[in-house]
Amino acid sequence: MAAEIIRLLDVSKVYGSGDATVRAVDDVSLAVKEGDFLAVMGPSGSGKSTLMHILGCLDVPTSGEYRFAGEDVSRMNERELASIRNRRIGFVFQQFHLLSSMSAWRNVELPLLYRTARDRRQMALNALAQVGLTDRVHYRPNQLSGGQQQRVAIARALVTDPTMILADEPTGNLDSKASREVLDILTGLNKSGHTIVLITHDPNVAAVAERVVEMADGRLRDRVAA
């Protein structure tokens, strides 16, 4: 049986106080096993972004427990969270978030700067080869198409060999052809053993996942994949 990577237990995230209290994430429990491909679906305002921040260790829950790969991250300080993000999680954002002043391989190298790593250049080149961008390693982000930029971002998520890849609306800014390419890469990565959590509002995108959960008003419910 595959090891459990994510264990959320009655996790809530509350903003504001008094009458203005918003329970963005309300008593959510969730388990993700190694090798899973999970899609979190829901319309905007459903709390899926807040859930993604908590899953990505970008934010800590107000209450409840979050165990990530056996470690209790809900009580960690900023420094420990930074280390978890660096070692365990690869991020893919809707806006790509590449640094415009750097070439593709320098962007992919970025997370390696915050850990001990040799041959950073070679690791970055390998990751770019995995997303099929070997011939674009010296290009700047503004010289690449949207789909290529997102593939650079995926390479950056891959380069640290993370426990989980967390993709937040990875196709949100792409046309359908580029979206297909990106989703194919994510599917391929899952087949080769990577755990992937995909956040999206689009049922067609969510359809590539093995398992889909739906978020509405801060609560979560399982949905059998169609």
Partner 1 sequence: MSLLRTFDTGMRGLLGHRLRSILTTLGILFGVAAVICTVGIGTASADSVNSRIAALGTNLLTISPGSTTSFGVRGGSGSANTLTMEDVAGLEDKQDAPDVAAVAPVVAGSATLVSTTTNWSTTVQGTTPGWLTANARSLSGGAFFTQNQVDKHAQVVVLGATTAQELGVTVGSQVSISGAPFDVVGILTTSGSTGFTNNDDLAVVPITTAQDQVTGGSPDSVQRILLSASSSATIGSAYLEADQLLLQTHHITNSASADFNITSASTLASTAASVTTTLTILLASVAAISLLVGGIGVMNIMLVSVTERTQEIGLRKALGATPRDLLRQFLIEAATLSFVGGLLGVGAGLLAGILVPRLANIAVTITPTPVIIAVAVAAGVGLIFGVYPAARAARLAPIAALRAE
Contacts with partner 1, residue ranges (CB under 8 A): 53, 56, 58-59, 78-79, 82-83, 85-87, 91, 93, 97, 99, 101-102, 106, 110-111, 113-115, 156
Between CA 223 and CA 196 the distance in angstroms is 17
In the bound complex, what is the minimum distance in angstroms from residue 10's beta carbon to partner 1?
Answer: 22
Question: Which is closer to partner 1, CB of 97 or CB of 191?
Answer: 97
In the bound complex, what is the minimum distance in angstroms from residue 173's beta carbon to partner 1?
Answer: 15
- The answer to whether residues 218 and 24 touch, using CB atoms and an 8 Å cutoff, is yes
Question: Which is closer to partner 1, CB of 33 or CB of 121?
Answer: 121
Between CA 85 and CA 162 the distance in angstroms is 9
Torsions phi, psi of 72, nearest 5?
-80, 105
Question: Which is closer to partner 1, CB of 7 or CB of 85?
Answer: 85
- The answer to whether residues 73 and 11 touch, using CB atoms and an 8 Å cutoff, is no
Question: Which is closer to partner 1, CB of 16 or CB of 203?
Answer: 16
In the bound complex, what is the minimum distance in angstroms from residue 110's beta carbon to partner 1?
Answer: 6
The CA-atom distances, in angstroms, between 198 and each of 56, 123, 152, 203, 209 are 11, 24, 17, 12, 8
In the bound complex, what is the minimum distance in angstroms from residue 63's beta carbon to partner 1?
Answer: 18
